[in-house]
Chains A and B, each alone.
Chain A
Amino acid sequence: MPRSRRAKLAVWKFSSCDGCQLSLLDCEDELLALAESVLIANFAEATSAELRGPYDLSLVEGSITTPAEAERIRRIRRQSRVLVTIGACATAGGIQALRNFKHVPEFIAAVYAKPEYISTLGTSTAIADHVPVDFELRGCPINKRQLLEVIGAFISGRKPATPAHSVCVACKRRGTVCVMVAKNIPCLGPITHDGCGAICPAYARGCYGCYGPAETVNAASLAGAWKAAGASKADMRRVLRSFNANAGEFRAAAEGLDEDD
């Protein structure tokens, strides 16, 4: 048989909700064409067929929360020419990184009657904390249009076009009136990375930071604006401590908001 010249694509799951890999199956109009242009070599949620590595492109969903996961990601890195992390769990540790700020045995005891059966790490960390990553696609969840762009870019050997500006820029482009200025609704848009297309303000709510920190952020200035909008420091700290809690700038911003106000 002639050797296939299609790029070999693999999708891998670590600790996550499965929503980012589902985004690929949510590309209803493109899925069959994509499956013809690449060779889906490993994608357990969608197929029981498995092809051995090496893989041209590995998409990695989820964070590292167990010793076995920390080992497995190293094996996958060795087999992958390009490794792209998809979603907030893979790029920042996800919401399960809230454990990084707490005492894990208490967490286990809160959920499980027999904690001794549970094997887990004390932290949830990004894939890039364990192996070199070629590109990080942000979002909780990722935007499926951006995912198709990233797959297309790496297969054709170019850099993906995914802007790093803030949600504010996307709001202006969309023509949404600023919810913070017009309605006094606390919004994380000024310090949050775009990618969603500024959905929340269009639905009359403030951005809550699904895509993590934008490139240059001034969280202290935003904290003042939140205060003026009637939100407490605790309110802002909670929003920062959610899906991208362990992302550098969000982490630092939350630490800068002291407990009492």
Chain B
Amino acid sequence: MKTIKVDYLARVEGEGAVRIRFRGDQVRDVAVRIFEPPRFFEAFLRGRSWTEVTDITARICGICPVAYQMSSCAAMEDAVEIDAGPVIAALRRLFYCGEWIESHTLHMFFLHAPDFLGYPDAITMAREHREIVLAALAIKKAGNAIVRAVGGREVHPINPRVGGFHSLPPRSALRELITELERGRQSALEAIEWMGRLNYPDYECDYEFVAVDAGGEYPFIGNRIVSNQGLDIPVRDYERYFEEYQVQHSNALHSRLRQRGTYLCGPLARFNLHFDKLSAAAREAARRVNLEPPCLNPFKSIMVRGVETAFALEEAIRIIESYEGVGDAFVPVHPASSIGHGASEAPRGMLYHRYRIDDGGIIREATIVPPTSQNLASMEHDLTRLAPRMIAMTHPDATHLAEQTVRNYDPCISCATHFLKLTLERE
């Protein structure tokens, strides 16, 4: 058996590996191995208070803490039957835009773009593409500025709470971001055109795309879950339609749709399901690079992230312009024995939370299904279909294609366990 082996997949968040085994020209098996050690969040949430859920679940992921905070609020507010109202909903959407902008920009330019251009990292890329890296840093900074203004700091924000926020940021603190956001939006639009000139592997897959549905808006937080194959369910029915299962090669659970199997969530799913809800400018930017739904090539997810980034910048400006900063920062919460479900769109895809609390608001059960674990089966499916091409390739090229395939998903392995290493074995 011939073996190709890479010991650490870099430029992903967390620790994992890929192993592809061949027998002759046949692919024997493919495994995205997750060896990130488990941290048992769902276990130690038991016995904690409803008041702590935003602070604790944020610590699952330093890259997308806002997503954890927003899904946990949605689930807890479902349990205690409150609606935080339109002012808080808009501020949450703004907060989430900040995270999409910084997380997408980190992934597009620092983790993913070097794959397309053959650099080990963005810092090396900056020697020949300094303008684009500087623009990316500026966009990322603008996203972080939103998260900091609304949440208090970039990583593990302190301001969100169940019911709303501890305090409303003053109008002036948000208004002063507009110039930077507008400049970021222009840079993002130019970056989409730059990405349009990259070379994309010729590959398509007929995924079932799954995303949160937020009525007439492009989804951040929503009450329903939809797919391109007819799924349209309230978030509370999630566990009736989806199931998690454990595989031996991974510390992360996998997910599937009951009786249907593998599905894909994330930017590609949102774009394909909710294209018409993007702003006219974002749709136009997509069309200029021949990106229209259905986009079935996961390598093009980098462009979709670009479109979502430009959209999030525009959306952030829109929200800030109509923000008054007056009213109650939060709706009072009166916990009672109940179960709540919540879902939102983390930069990498749907993030589902479920909590059972008692009369004192103490958490008795917690279930958290992060996007990366939902996408692991699709990653393995893509690798299985691409593996036959790898046989004819040199070892470095094959490794590169495998790594790039995994990075299409912007995998956040710290989340999923609750890094990557490639082994190609050829018989």
Known: A16-B414, A117-B248. A110 touches B121 (CB 8 A): no
Q: Which residues of A contact B46 (CB under 8 A)?
A: 110
Interface string of B112-149 (1 = CB under 8 A from A): 00100000111110100000011001101100100000
Stretch at the interface among B90-98, B150-158, B228-236, B282-290: B150-158
The answer on a CB contact under 8 Å between B40 and A205 is no
Which of A20, A99, A238 is in CB contact (< 8 Å) with B40? A99
Minimum CB distance partner of B400 in chain A: A48
Stretch at the interface among A39-47, A74-82, A164-172: A39-47
Minimum CB distance partner of A114 in chain B: B246
Interface string of B149-188 (1 = CB under 8 A from A): 0001111101101000111000000000000000000000
The answer on a CB contact under 8 Å between A107 and B122 is no
Nearest chain A CB to B421's CB is how many angstroms away? Answer: 10
The answer on a CB contact under 8 Å between B15 and A19 is no
Q: Which residues of A contact B48 (CB under 8 A)?
A: 238
Q: Which residues of A contact B126 (CB under 8 A)?
A: 32, 35
Known: A117-B246, A203-B159. A15 touches B63 (CB 8 A): no
Q: Which residues of A contact B63 (CB under 8 A)?
A: 18-19, 22
Interface string of A8-23 (1 = CB under 8 A from B): 0000011111111111
Minimum CB distance partner of A35 in chain B: B123
The answer on a CB contact under 8 Å between B246 and A26 is no
Which of A15, A25, A107, A141 is in CB contact (< 8 Å) with B106? A25
A208: CB under 8 A from chain B? yes
Number of A-B pairs, beta carbon distance below 8 Å: 184
A31: CB under 8 A from chain B? yes
The answer on a CB contact under 8 Å between B156 and A210 is yes
Minimum CB distance partner of A115 in chain B: B246
The answer on a CB contact under 8 Å between A17 and B246 is no
Minimum CB distance partner of B367 in chain A: A111
Which of A144, A205, A235 is in CB contact (< 8 Å) with B158? A205
B276: CB under 8 A from chain A? no
Known: A48-B11, A203-B152, A238-B52. A17 touches B62 (CB 8 A): yes
B342: CB under 8 A from chain A? no
A161: CB under 8 A from chain B? no
Interface size on A, residues (CB 8 A): 63
Interface string of A221-244 (1 = CB under 8 A from B): 000000000000001001000110
The answer on a CB contact under 8 Å between B56 and A19 is no
The answer on a CB contact under 8 Å between A18 and B14 is yes
Which of B37, B153, B412 is in CB contact (< 8 Å) with A15? B37
Minimum CB distance partner of B139 in chain A: A28
A260: CB under 8 A from chain B? no
Which of B55, B120, B140 is in CB contact (< 8 Å) with A208? B55
Complex Cα distance, B122 from A40, in Å, reads: 12
The answer on a CB contact under 8 Å between B52 and A26 is no
Known: A95-B59, A96-B39. A102 touches B44 (CB 8 A): yes
Interface string of A189-226 (1 = CB under 8 A from B): 00000001001101111001010000000000000000
Complex Cα distance, B371 from A141, in Å, reads: 23
Known: A25-B106, A120-B37, A203-B167. A98 touches B44 (CB 8 A): yes
Binding site for A on B (CB under 8 A): 8, 10-15, 36-44, 46, 48-49, 52, 55-56, 59-63, 65, 102, 106, 110-111, 114, 120-124, 126, 133-134, 137-138, 140-141, 144, 152-156, 158-159, 161, 165-167, 245-246, 248, 251, 253, 329, 403, 412, 414, 418-419
Q: With contacts A18-B62, A28-B140, A48-B10 known, what are 20 further pairs, Cβ within 8 A?
A: A14-B37, A17-B61, A18-B61, A18-B414, A23-B155, A32-B134, A45-B11, A46-B111, A49-B121, A50-B8, A65-B37, A110-B40, A120-B37, A141-B156, A196-B153, A203-B159, A203-B167, A204-B329, A238-B49, A242-B55
| 30 A-B pairs whose Cβ atoms sit less than 8 Å apart in the complex | A13-B15, A17-B60, A17-B62, A18-B62, A19-B155, A19-B156, A22-B62, A32-B134, A45-B10, A46-B122, A47-B11, A47-B123, A48-B120, A49-B121, A95-B44, A107-B40, A110-B40, A111-B38, A111-B40, A111-B43, A111-B418, A113-B245, A114-B248, A117-B248, A141-B62, A199-B153, A199-B158, A203-B165, A238-B49, A242-B56
